Structure 1
């Protein structure tokens, strides 16, 4: 199976922003323009996350999702503020191919994952995990890395896999936005714990960081933000570099 290269758009409407440790937001550009840019660069998928919807406890801005999805013809995943099966349905009607959920499933009702996978298919359900290291283990966080859940990441990934999640997007609160490399131990531990696809996010600062996590942790996909937003590289350059180093990409 080829490694997927995903462009990740963290959105505080109306802008794509880039946080560090999920805080200190810097405006990057408009979601529709960046979605089209990365699509044309050759991204295999896009993930659009409204990073403040759950934190502010407001409704999903479906019109913003529609605008971002309009000129994109690759799988488009959307998350942020998802609290019901109706939200899943409305997001699919707004242009999403997959829906990403975190806070509601962790804090309120994990069984929404099972419901959604049974209604829409497991391939359309991604569980986002915001992990923070404590000692030798990791804890799940919610609300843009601000709220502790008390849940072990490794226990939670197995639970969501059993509930029918199709994929896991794994983010590190400690590494996010720092551009100093992934938490490879975290990614490896999750990949080894579950049989469903794992998307490694948070930490890429250069091409070598991407290669390291791919070779050492074996995720099914990598999600990139900072190195694309700050134009340190392009999707095409990432793919070319990985191919030259023996990694199969599309």
Structure 2
């Protein structure tokens, strides 16, 4: 059995780390470089950095902060945030990142995935899908940090991204994000049942048991964690941390 990756998903706003709730209000977490140093010591599997307002505000990629992060980081890195072209991806990989996470710009240019995947390989591209539920319980894809409504055909879009050449899919529940209530297992399972590429669960993790649920019940390959690794507990102050390895292994059955 392959070990489940548990990936801190860290949100960038300009050159600071923040944490959102349901993609809306956000709190300041701290300096990304100091946070990377702590995760180095904790020996996490990999780190994901998402510049959450880059696409919405149509900002260029902050190469400087990504360079500083890559220089400090010992583990594999992925980055998402208004990647518009193969040249943008080249800059990120040249810095030392292993993967790019692409979301909003795929809706206008799906060929972007194909170009990056063909040049760097499928393992280098993570296709990101943000999903929100309506009042009547219907799931709909949103882009531009939850501001722009897209398709309601989540499975169809997931398959399109898979066919375009993504190596993984990051599935984020906007409604669960920052909630500590657990992943949307039904949503995740609907995707894992329909695609061949690995799926990363995101949005809602509040304890290690939620990770086990996503793996055992929704069959995801990895879990992204946010609030749980930047706060002491729900409603308490900032504390960069990572689940105890023994407890993780225990709940995952290793």
TM-score by length of 2: 0.92
SS in 2 for 1:127: strand
Matches of residues 162-177 of structure 1 in structure 2 within 5 Å? 162-177=163-178
Q: How far does residue 206 in structure 1 lie from its aligned partner after superposition? A: 1.8
Instruction: Give the match for residue 244 of structure 1.
Output: 250
Written as runs of structure 1 = structure 2, the 5 A alignment for 1:1-250 is 1-106=2-107, 108-134=108-134, 135=136, 137-232=138-233, 234-237=241-244, 239-248=245-254
CA offset at residue 208 of structure 1? 2.2
Q: Which moved more, 1:125-134 or 1:176-185?
A: 125-134
Q: Judging changes above 3 Å, is the alpha-carbon distance between structure 1 residues 207 and 246 closer, same or farther for their aligned structure 2 residues?
A: closer
| TM-fit CA distance, 1:84 | 0.7
TM-superposed CA distance for 1:74, in Å, is 1.5
Contact 1:127 1:167 in 2 (8 A): yes
| Equivalent residue, structure 1, for 2:236 | none
Per-residue deviation, residues 101-153 of structure 1 (Å, max 9, x unmatched): 100002x1111111110011010001111011245652211111111012521
Higher relative contact order (CA 8 A, sep 6+): 1
- The answer as to whether partners of 2:208 and 2:243 remain within 8 angstroms in 1 is no
Q: Structure 1: which 5+ residue stretches go unaligned?
A: none
Residues of 2 paired with 1:245 and 1:57: CA distance?
Answer: 41
2:170–2:200 contact (8 Å) kept in structure 1:
yes
Q: Structure 2: which 5+ residue stretches go unaligned?
A: 234-239
Number of positions where the alignment pairs a residue of Structure 1 with one of Structure 2: 246
TM-score by length of 1: 0.94
Deviation at 1:246, TM superposition (A): 4.2
| Cα-to-partner distance string for 1:36-79 (whole Å, 9 max, x where unaligned) | 21232121110001101101111010101111121212210011
Query: Aligned with 2:129: secondary structure?
Result: strand
Cα RMSD of the aligned pairs, angstroms, is 1.5
Q: Per the alignment, in what secondary structure is the counterpart of residue 150 of structure 2? A: strand
